[in-house]
Structures are given as C-alpha cells and as structure tokens.
Structure 1
Amino acid sequence: MLLVVLGYRTNLTMEQLAALFATTDSTVHRVTADLAPHLAALLGSPPTDRRELWLVDGTLIPVHDQQKTKKSKNYRRSVNV
C-alpha cells in the first residue's frame, strides 16, 4: 500500500519507484494495478455535498513555482492531485 500511495503522492515513474523499493518496474506496475482499486474502496463513496468533494486520480496540474515542483516526463512543471 505504501508503494501505491507514494506513487500517487510524488508522481514518480515506475522505474524510480522500482529503484526505491528494490524491485522491477513490472512488479511496481502490477502491484499498483492490483492495489489501487482496494485503496479507492477504503476511501468509500464521495460525499454528497459538493463542497466536500474529494478526488484521487493522479491528474497533473500545471504550476509555475519551481521551488515545489520538478519537471515531469512531459517536461512541464506540475503536481499530482
């Protein structure tokens, strides 16, 4: 579960996560694909009030603050949602 959460939070590539956890990138991809639905199930259904809506999808949002971001695979500075 730590691998999945860290992958969503930091926007690291599969190769970077594999190096961090001392495994292969195919294993990281398989574990992420297997555990992501279980993580979504733990969060439960979203609240009905739109002011309290939450979202976990890994969407990249462009930002221009160079102190808090790094260039991603597409060479744009962005953060994960």
Structure 2
Amino acid sequence: MAKIVIYTTPICPYCVRAKHLFQRKGVNYEEIDVSRDQNLRQQLIERTRQRTVPQIFINEQHIGGCDDLYALERQGALDPLLAQ
C-alpha cells in the first residue's frame, strides 16, 4: 500500500475534499496539520515551494493540491499510484 502524506489545516475545504477521496478509497494517510506549528509550515514550504494546503505526497512523490489529486482520479492514474 502507498504511503500518503497530506499537509493540511483544519479550516481548509480543499483539505477536507482530498481527505474524503482517500477515505472513500479506503486508504490510510498521514495528516500533518501546519496551522499551529511554524516549523511544520516551514517544512511544507521547503519541501514543496508552496504555502497553500493541501499538499499531497504519494510514496514521496509530490502530487500537488486537491485539484491535482482529483485530476489524477479523473485520468484513472490515482489507483495505480495507490497500489504501489
């Protein structure tokens, strides 16, 4: 099973959508809430060069945000990534 890491904040509707897709697919993920920890926020920026959430990694590969995740799903490319 794939290792999924998702950087989030609690009030982000896109974070909720991304997590919901993973939950529907029955896959586990590690959620890193960057809302209250500047060190985690800095880690996010260094790792992705982005400030926005969600930022999603599957098997250490940066997928991008919620729109990118759903684009993979529409293309049929998400399930093969999750099966690795």
TM-score by length of 2: 0.24
TM-score by length of 1: 0.25
Structure with more strand by fraction: 2
Q: Which has the larger radius of gyration?
A: 1
